[in-house]
Amino acid sequence: MGKGIDFVKAILKNTIEKKGFDQCLKNFNVVSAGNGNCKVEFTVAEEHLNAGGTLHGGFTTTLVDCISGCALMTRGDVAPGVSVDLHVSFMKAAFPGDVVIVDAKTIRAGRTLAFLEVELRKKDEGSVIAQGQHTKFIGQI
């Protein structure tokens, strides 16, 4: 049985409360979740910027990793797994104040591997900021 928006909110809350690296996800709004998909949004803030004043590539890569993991877990039949491969293509800069939509989809989840895709878009104009592909090794739950 799949899990939805309340499940993803609980995952993010639990992750943030651990006070580790994932504190960077603290100001996210879960828009939708379920059936192997997850969509969140956030406003680009000072803490998300690189030295050039735009959305940091490392932060973008973290989003591909974390939000695709949330998408995968909404299927309800898989463990979070571990990354095997992660690729991100950066297409456009995002600036402070931009609202960004992060849309993650499970493309296929087999017995041991899951393949996910993530797209980051500017909410106001719909332009693509980055696209990511994530492969995870998943175990049995």
Confidence of residue 24 (pLDDT cuts 50, 70, 90): confident
Contact 28, 40 (CB under 8 A): yes
Burial of residue 111 (number of CB atoms within 10 Å: 0-12, 13-18, 19+): exposed
Which pLDDT band holds residue 33 (cuts at 50, 70, 90)?
Answer: very high
**Which CATH superfamily hosts domain 5-137?**
Hotdog Thioesterase (3.10.129.10)
Residue-wise pLDDT for 112-136, tens only, equals: 999 999 999 999 999 999 999 999 9
> Distance (Å, rounded) from C-alpha 78 to C-alpha 24?
25
Question: Which pLDDT score, from 0 to 100, does residue 114 have?
Answer: 94
Residue 16 in this model has a pLDDT that exceeds 80: no
pLDDT score recorded for residue 19 = 66
pTM of the predicted model, to two decimals?
0.89
With beta carbons less than 8 A apart as the criterion, state whether 91 and 54 touch. Answer: no
Distance between CA atoms of residues 99 and 63, nearest Å: 14
pLDDT score at 1: 43
- Residue at token pair 């959305």: 55
Q: Are strands 128-137 and 113-122 parallel, antiparallel or unpaired?
A: antiparallel
